[in-house]
Amino acid sequence: MTQQQPPWPSPRGNRWLILAILAFLHFADAAALPLLFSHIKPQINWTQPEMERWVIEEQPRSIQPHLEPLLHPNRSHNILAGDASDSEFLKRLVRQNQTASGRMLWNDVAGGDGLVYPPFVDQALKLFNLKQVAFEIENSLMSKVTCTACRAGTGMLQHQIQSGKTDTEIIRMITDYCTNLNIQSARVCQGVAQLFGSELIYVLKRVNLSPDELCSFVIGDGCADVYNPYHEWEVIFPPVPKPPRLADLPIPLEAAPFFKVLHISDTHYDPHYAEGSNAECNEPLCCRLSSGRPATPNAAAGKWGDYRKCDTPKRTVDHMLSHIAETHKDIDYILWTGDLPPHDVWNQTKEENLAIIKETVKQMVEMFPGVPIFPALGNHESAPVNSFPPPYVNQVDISISWLYDELDVQWRRWLPQSVTHTVRRGAFYSVLVRPGFRIISLNMNYCNNKNWWLLLNSTDPATELQWFIYELQSAEFSNEKVHVIGHIPPGHSDCLKVWSRNFYKIISRYESTVTAQFYGHTHYDEFEMFYDPQDLTHPNSIAYIGPSVSPYYDLNPGYRIYYVDGDHDSTTRLVIDHESWIMNLREANLYGYPIWYKLYTARAAYNMKALRPSDWNNLLNELASNQELFELYYKYYWKNSPARPTCDAECKKRLICDCKSGRSHDRKHFCAEVESKIDEESSKSWKSWFYKGLTNSAEDRKEMPVTTTDKDGYGPLDLVIINVGG
């Protein structure tokens, strides 16, 4: 690991918003406080904790196959059987295609939500546009507006720390301003300030970074790319040549053995969900008795969940698991990619989060007895949310051992004893599933840019990536194929740029070993592409992003089924196909009973011969130019939600670019060509519509006298079309 070390001593979250409101102190005491404190370098009296000695090679490894497949007589995935030519095969896919037909936390009176801002902050709201900041934070869509608020809030907070204010005084100030600005309810303001304030102050007292550096580190693209040598590092690869790259991967054999795999993600089970409670409460989470009474019948929470800011009731989780156990009796193993607790991020405790983890683990054991489950840690499992201190932060009151030790106890119901050390160290592990096939679960919270602890030292937290390289190199030596699971997708804007860049290099180096990746976090039904960093025309990996069980928000609950190339001499361990299953929440609440059904099958829906990286890359190119196909993808992306918004050209560019960018905060390298193609297609579509309309209009008036041409021989219609054409 190489890095220039810092000169020591040195919820969708809501924390940046709380920071941003500190900037409004400028309006209350302009003479005493500058607006932006980019020059502040706090005096630090702190020494870097001594890093513990952790030798990767000395840790136990899983080397005995963990899964003993059960025999499922007459089982088949119906689109795989039989031989056919390409044209016949694709026709069969089409026949098999059975498909079903941002909300903001802080709003204004004009929008009909009833919130009124105090008059003295009108100027501040115009300057910082806190509503847009809130929307961007909630949806991980950062822009210069959020960046400006971040710099102002961070600078103000650093100023308060430098001026000698106590933690209690700073937290009280955050609470007061949050409440007085009516940004959230008093209890949310107080809860957020108490939960996050102490941790944030602790970290900021110990770093020597300016607001520009801090905000660039956390926000990424939306806040310029400020070079920070303290947070630039590179993983080290062993001196082993990369195996020769294949022109393309082989297509898995049809009618060969396969594994049927269930993928569940982002359950967000809410034990306090209450049918009939207020679903429009203007807090980060509603549909609870504490949300108050609904103002109208339409504002009442549904029986099985709600499209508004509400998580999953227990009856819905129970019904889904019962449906899966009854419908998919031949599941070989389960991928469970995290986020179990609800979105009440201002009101969480370690004890309650642990209780939810224990309850859901117990439920999974009872519903799927004997089925191996491979879990990954979400960002909501910690309290406060996104708080995952690296191992060197080992003080009793702030160490993360309270969570990792319990995860080891709970996960050991399915995992071998060899994973204990890495789970307790960093909540990651490696398991040999079958001879030649391994699953590696990563703790993606060490790339989470809302994890404040990474500001202390972001260099490969918990040595996870270096361990990952060791596992992949060992797998390569043993001729094993690997599936990677985690929570936050590495190309998502919530993943730190430096971590994502190193991960991208690792996937490229071991592209012949890693045959699939599986994540959650976004709640949508989507995927991410990976390419050779030296040749962006060569796709080398695909990351499947599974849909959420939680409807939060505007979504139908869903889950995925994968068919993975199984045990045979020519196995590729690639995903052969996948299905997305959903429950129509509106109909469930209307008729009082949910019906789960298969929304689509990937190969049939998108007319794909296989699901290799090259096939997904071809689909991406077609999505950019084929509007009808994109609209189909967009419907599935939203899990066929009736609450989904329309998608214009900018929305289309963002979604396709998200799929193209397996490396976070680096859209300029991946998206220029796609965006240009979409702009070109949009222009053609608009011109065609405009020309057709004018032509029809001209035909309607064909009995009218012909208009005199100008000196160049063009009439008015000709000039309009020339103008449109540029």
- SS3 state of residue 388: coil
Side chain identity at 431, as an amino acid letter?
A: V
Is residue 283 a contact partner of residue 262, using CB atoms and an 8 Å limit? no
Low-confidence ranges of the chain (pLDDT < 70): 1-52, 73-74, 76-144, 683-726
Q: What is the pLDDT of residue 42?
A: 44
348 & 396 share domain: yes
In a domain, 403, yes or no: yes
CA dihedral for 550, 553, 556, 559, sign (positive or negative): negative
Last residue of a domain, one of 219, 247, 281: 219
Count CB atoms within 10 A of the CB of residue 234: 14
492 & 353 share domain: yes
In a domain, 322, yes or no: yes
CA gap 559, 265 in Å, rounded: 7
Q: How are beta strands 333-336 and 373-375 bridged, if at all? A: parallel
In a domain, 424, yes or no: yes
Spell out the SS3 assignment of 449-482: CCCHHHHCCCCCHHHHHHHHHHHHHHHHHCCCEE
Side chain identity at 393, as an amino acid letter?
A: V
Domain housing 125: 116-219
Phi, psi for 65 (deg, rounded to 5): -55, 130
426 & 550 share domain: yes
Q: What is the pLDDT of residue 152?
A: 85
Last residue of a domain, one of 567, 586, 612: 612
473 & 339 share domain: yes
In a domain, 224, yes or no: no
Strand partners, 171: none
Q: What is the pLDDT of residue 184?
A: 86
CA gap 544, 562 in Å, rounded: 10
334 & 185 share domain: no
- For the chain, give the mean pLDDT: 82
268 & 207 share domain: no
CA gap 205, 212 in Å, rounded: 16
CA gap 683, 725 in Å, rounded: 9
Q: What is the pLDDT of residue 573?
A: 98
Q: What is the pLDDT of residue 104?
A: 31
Last residue of a domain, one of 612, 639, 666: 612
Q: What is the pLDDT of residue 201?
A: 93
Q: What is the pLDDT of residue 312?
A: 98
In a domain, 464, yes or no: yes
In a domain, 129, yes or no: yes
Side chain identity at 112, as an amino acid letter?
A: G
Annotated binding site: 266, 268, 339, 379, 487, 521, 523
333 & 472 share domain: yes
In this structure, what is the dihedral angle of CA atoms 153, 156, 157, 158, given to the nearest 10 degrees?
120
Annotated binding site for Zn(2+): 266, 268, 339, 379, 487, 521, 523
Is residue 278 a contact partner of residue 286, using CB atoms and an 8 Å limit? yes
What CATH number does residue 476 fall under? 3.60.21.10
In a domain, 159, yes or no: yes
Closest CA to 263 of 328, 318, 336, 362: 336
Rounded to an integer, what is the distance from CA 484 to the centroid of its chain?
15
Side chain identity at 532, as an amino acid letter?
A: D
208 & 266 share domain: no
Question: Could you give the number of structural domains in the chain?
Answer: 2
- Angstrom CA distances, 663 to 414, 416, 493, 522, stand at 32, 32, 9, 16
210 & 138 share domain: yes
Q: What pLDDT, in 10s, does the model give residues 384-439? A: 999 999 998 888 788 999 999 999 999 999 999 999 999 999 999 999 999 999 99
Phi, psi for 305 (deg, rounded to 5): 130, -175
Q: What is the pLDDT of residue 289?
A: 96
Is residue 311 a contact partner of residue 552, using CB atoms and an 8 Å limit? yes
392 & 459 share domain: yes
CA gap 530, 511 in Å, rounded: 10
450 & 347 share domain: yes
In a domain, 463, yes or no: yes
210 & 342 share domain: no
